[in-house]
Amino acid sequence: MKNVFSSILTMACLLLGAAAASAYDFQSGGIYYNINTSNGTVTVTNSGTSTQYTGDVTIPATVTHEGKTYNVTAIASYAFQNNVELSSITIGNKVRSIGYQAFKGCTMLTTVVIPNSTEELGEQAFYGCSNLRNITIGNSVKAIGNSAFENCTSLAKIVIPGSAETIGISAFDGCNHLTDLTIESGVVTIGSYAFAGCTTLPSVTLPNTVKNIYSYAFQNCTELETATLGNKVFSIGYQAFRGCTALRTVNIPNSTEELGEQAFYGCSNLR
């Protein structure tokens, strides 16, 4: 029985080793890639072990391997996760998607530029990047993924392009140093908890394209003094502005048909 167990264990180790060995197709410039044979592009991935990137990293627009040049079109889920010494990332202008938790836990990451080529920004893509201060989001992103920037506690300024019709659940939840928020025309939906706990945000102006503000969207934004809502807002969700104790001014437009329970509960300075 012991020999059988030993054989099984050995086989498992061999399979794990094979999986690690095949986690990427090639490496170039210290970055690991998988080839997408269906369209002749490549995706940035990791080595399958504990790849550690340090300092400033540039993801190129193209990469050459064995005499063939590939467009770099995606960053895979977990590709840079928990690389705690990564300080900045420059993303090539052919990258279309950034995967789930791609940069989660990169606690020393300070600067990111998402190019205009990027359309998909995955859930938790930059979750917990606690030193992220400078982020530029290109004008092709279709949605800000759920928890994409949650707990980015050093983020002070963000411009959300109009191409992003949806700001996902908890997208900026807990960004407690955010003081400058611009939401451009084109955004339609503010997800639940999208800006909850942004305790230093002084004001918010929503463009006329916004139709839905979901539950808890701005809950406990304790320094929020003014909220200017666009003239197409249809619904304001449950506890959407609950606990905004500094809130003095808010306009509810004629377009609003649904005003959720406790939407402004505890807004003790609202006049």
- Which one has a higher pLDDT value, 250 or 19? 250
Q: How far apart are CA 44 and CA 59, in angstroms?
A: 8
Q: What is the DSSP letter of 161?
A: -
Q: Roughly how many angstroms between the first and final C-alpha of the chain, as a whole number?
A: 77
Q: How far apart are CA 171 and CA 82, in angstroms?
A: 19
**CA neighbours within 13 Å on the CB side: how many for 13?**
6
The confidence score (pLDDT) of residue 4 equals 40
pLDDT digit string, tens, across residues 125-141 = 999 999 999 999 999 99
Q: Please answer whether residues 220 and 246 qualify as being in contact, where contact means their C-beta atoms are separated by less than 8 angstroms.
A: no
> Residue 55, SS3?
strand
Mean pLDDT value across residues 95-113: 96
The confidence score (pLDDT) of residue 175 equals 98
Least confident of 14-23, 101-110, 209-218, 239-248: 14-23
Q: Which amino acid is at 127?
A: Y
Strand partners, 35: 42
And the tokens for 10? 């050995």
Strand partners, 135: 112
pLDDT digit string, tens, across residues 25-64 = 999 999 999 999 999 999 999 887 766 788 999 999 999 9
